[in-house]
């Protein structure tokens, strides 16, 4: 999948925010491939010519393949966590601009937006996203884990067309 | 004085921009005997140039105007990213000054 399409999906999933655009998301995705590699123990890199995120094809070391949907899930979540980090920082730094949400003229009541409350909510939201990210990373690693040792042979034939690591000798 | 300005470009669209080179007090610089250059790069360390902005000093030199015109085909092959750019002016003695710099956001388009 191309980086521009991943960036477009993220942009839409965030609700098409006005403070960030597809180019900025695409830039962040390329700049933070290292985070993805560290999280899921992969070796993705940004191709210098196409600027796409690639990795060596595990079935043929002479070929490269684009990032697949499983890894994109993690990369997307990494960006979403980053996005809410930005929102928290923005909210923290805008403490001197408080918007009024209710003004009653004769009763002299003025209700202001509380940046502290917004900050708390954003933080809780971001914490939830961080937990989601950890969970997805764990699921990803689990799905890619292979046994250290297999004693004997399987009695059921594996489907050999998915990945070579699943191939077992079939003993009927 | 360098001004920060982010350019939004859409792939396959034309781009026409006009900048005013001015001093710190806001007075336009007399660009007589000045030439302008400007490039878009992926990052500051990139050796390759994504796009030559080919800025042109306007013929009314005293107004400090610098025009940038990029054709639709010029933006066609650019990657979708937040690149960086700057525009500098040089005079005949080789003295240079950066007029404007910022991000060069390249947006995708359905029709290219």
| Tokens (6 digits) for B2 | 């360098």
Whether ipTM exceeds 0.85: no
Q: What is the pLDDT of residues A69-122, one digit of tens each?
A: 999 999 999 999 999 999 888 887 776 666 666 777 777 787 777 777 888 888
Quick check: is B112 in a domain? no
Name the average pLDDT for chain A. 83
Q: Is the CB of A22 less than 8 angstroms away from the CB of B79?
A: no
Quick check: is B27 in a domain? yes
What is the length of chain A?
172
Using an 8 Å CB-CB cutoff, list chain A residues near B82.
Answer: 23-24, 26-27
Quick check: is B44 in a domain? yes
Which CATH number do you get for residue B16?
2.60.40.10
Quick check: is B86 in a domain? yes
Quick check: is B99 in a domain? yes
Which domain, by its residues, includes B89? 3-107
Tally of domains in chain B = 1
Quick check: is B22 in a domain? yes
Report the alpha-carbon angle A65-A25-B46, nearest 5: 75
Quick check: is B98 in a domain? yes
Residues 1-20 of B with CB under 8 A from A: 8
Low-confidence ranges of chain B (pLDDT < 50): none
Give the span between the Cα atoms of B101 and B68, in whole angstroms: 13
The residue-averaged pLDDT of A124-151 equals 87
């Amino acid at each position: 999948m191309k980086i521009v399409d991943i960036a477009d999906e993220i942009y839409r999933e965030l609700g098409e925010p006005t403070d960030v655009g597809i180019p900025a998301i695409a830039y962040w995705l390329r700049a933070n491939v290292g985070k993805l590699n560290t999280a899921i123990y992969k070796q993705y890199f940004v191709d210098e010519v196409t600027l796409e995120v690639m990795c060596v094809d595990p079935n043929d070391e002479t070929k490269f393949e684009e990032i697949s949907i499983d890894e994109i899930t993690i990369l997307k979540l990494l960006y979403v966590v980053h996005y809410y980090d930005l929102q928290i920082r923005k909210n923290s730094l805008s403490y001197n601009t408080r918007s009024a949400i209710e003004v009653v003229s004769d009763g002299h009541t003025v209700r202001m937006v509380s940046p502290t409350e917004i900050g708390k909510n954003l933080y809780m939201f971001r914490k939830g996203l961080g937990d989601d990210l950890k969970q997805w990373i764990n699921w990803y690693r689990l799905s890619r884990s292979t046994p250290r040792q297999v004693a004997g042979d399987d009695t059921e034939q594996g489907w050999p067309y998915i990945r070579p690591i699943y191939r077992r000798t079939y003993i009927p | 004085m360098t001004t920060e300005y982010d350019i939004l470009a859409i792939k396959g669209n034309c781009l026409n921009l006009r900048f005013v080179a001015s001093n710190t007090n806001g007075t336009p610089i007399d660009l007589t005997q000045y030439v302008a250059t400007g490039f878009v790069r992926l990052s500051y360390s990139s050796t390759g140039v994504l796009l030559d902005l080919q800025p042109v000093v306007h013929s009314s030199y005293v107004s400090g105007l610098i025009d940038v015109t990029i054709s639709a085909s010029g933006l066609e092959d650019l990657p979708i990213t937040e690149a960086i750019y700057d525009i500098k002016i040089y005079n005949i003695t080789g003295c240079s000054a950066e007029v404007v710099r910022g991000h060069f956001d390249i947006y995708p388009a359905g029709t290219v």
